[in-house]
Amino acid sequence: MDIKWIILDVDGVLTDGKLIYTSNGEEVKEFSAKDGLGLAAAHKAGLSLAIITARVSPMVERRAKELKFDALLMGHANKTDALRSLCERHHIELENIAYMGDDLNDLGALSLVGLPMAPQNAAPEVKRVAQFVSNYNGGSGAVRDAVEYILKSQNMWDSVVQDYTMEAHNHGQ
């Protein structure tokens, strides 16, 4: 496995999939700090990060910016086409992509990539095509679990942990 990009859906993967609206019509999304640290670790290891989502959301834009995502594709109901255009734009081979999705609209993209992944609470059809199914639900550590799986399988996990250990030692002096 030679994964260079991790591409994620948002609702049901980076969030628990619930859509919460305030009384004045604003949307609220909740993200996992564990997933965030996992994605920061992936970045430290040199992997590129992208989001492909059908919805358009300022919260997703903010989260992608905070975590230094390399690409953000919002408003893409056809995720397969979005995936193909991302590959063309960034000269990525499909086999070098890990994609995590949770529902039927992710099946096309999942069927094309080198490592299709799903959270524990994904649709049964998605879990059937996934090569990695997290022990965690979307929005509750599934992305962190997937990042750890990828980094360990590529022998990069120990060096990432070492980086965090060194940061702690350097700040303590």
pLDDT digits (tens, 9 = 90+) for 89-147: 999 999 999 999 999 999 999 999 999 999 999 999 999 999 999 999 999 999 999 99
- Detail the residues annotated as belonging to a binding site for Mg(2+): 9, 102
Q: Measuring CA to CA, how many Å separate 129 from each of 64, 92, 101, 133?
A: 27, 21, 11, 10
What token pair was written down for 150? 């990828």
CATH number assigned to the domain covering 5-172: 3.40.50.1000
For the segment 59-76, the average pLDDT, to the nearest whole number, is 95
- Detail the residues annotated as belonging to a binding site: 9, 11, 102
Question: What are the sequence ranges of the domains in the chain?
Answer: 5-172
Under a CB-based contact definition with an 8 Å cutoff, are residues 141 and 35 in contact? yes
Under a CB-based contact definition with an 8 Å cutoff, are residues 104 and 123 in contact? yes
pLDDT, one tens digit per residue, over 34-61 is: 999 999 999 999 999 999 999 999 999 9
Q: What are phi and psi of 41, to 5 degrees?
A: -65, -40
Give the integer Cα–Cα distance in Å for 55 and 40. 23
pTM for the model stands at 0.93
Inform me whether the pLDDT recorded for 26 exceeds 80. yes
Beta-sheet strands, E only, within the chain? 5-8, 20-21, 27-28, 48-53, 71-74, 97-100, 115-118, 132-133
Residue type, 32: S
- Detail the residues annotated as belonging to a binding site for substrate: 11
The residue to which tokens 């949770």 are assigned: 102
